[in-house]
Amino acid sequence: QQQVKQSPQSLIVQKGGIPIINCAYENTAFDYFPWYQQFPGKGPALLIAIRPDVSEKKEGRFTISFNKSAKQFSLHIMDSQPGDSATYFCAAIKAAGNKLTFGGGTRVLVKP
């Protein structure tokens, strides 16, 4: 039973488009929601993170939107570039928790 559900599994956009990745969680004890970016042959790396008391956070071209009542959050990649082609994972962790719970991942391909 996946506690964090992520969709879609894959996404293809043209350069300049806005890929959107959605995640939903069940456990209201989750206190922090990071996104990780993984390039082929590499380990995941933290991209951006948000707490549930914030509805939106931007870092460069990456934006997280958070809907606490719906228990959903999403990642938008503004003005996407071919270099953004990677697998993206949403995750969740409880306050003082010992583990990250990951979504299933979304493979994003940005075509030139």
Partner 1 sequence: EAQVTQNPRYLITVTGKKLTVTCSQNMNHEYMSWYRQDPGLGLRQIYYSMNVEVTDKGDVPEGYKVSRKEKRNFPLILESPSPNQTSLYFCASSFSGGRYEQYFGPGTRLTVT
CA gap 84, 106 in Å, rounded: 12
Binding test (CB under 8 A) with partner 1, winner from 28, 56, 104, 111: 104
CB atoms within 10 A of CB 4: 21
73 binds partner 1, rule: CB under 8 A: no
Binding partner 1 by CB under 8 A: which of 49, 52, 71, 72?
A: 49
Q: Does 12 bind partner 1 (CB under 8 A)?
A: no
Give CA–CA dist 20/1, Å, rounded: 24
Is 20:106 a contact under the CB 8 Å cutoff? Answer: no
- Our CB check for partner 1 shows the closer of 29 and 46 to be 46
Select 2 or 55, whichever has its Cβ closest to partner 1. Answer: 2
Identify the three-state secondary structure at position 83.
Answer: helix
Q: Confirm or reject binding of residue 6 to partner 1 (CB under 8 A).
A: yes
Q: Which of 25, 66, 73, 89 lies at the binding interface for partner 1 (CB under 8 A)?
A: 89
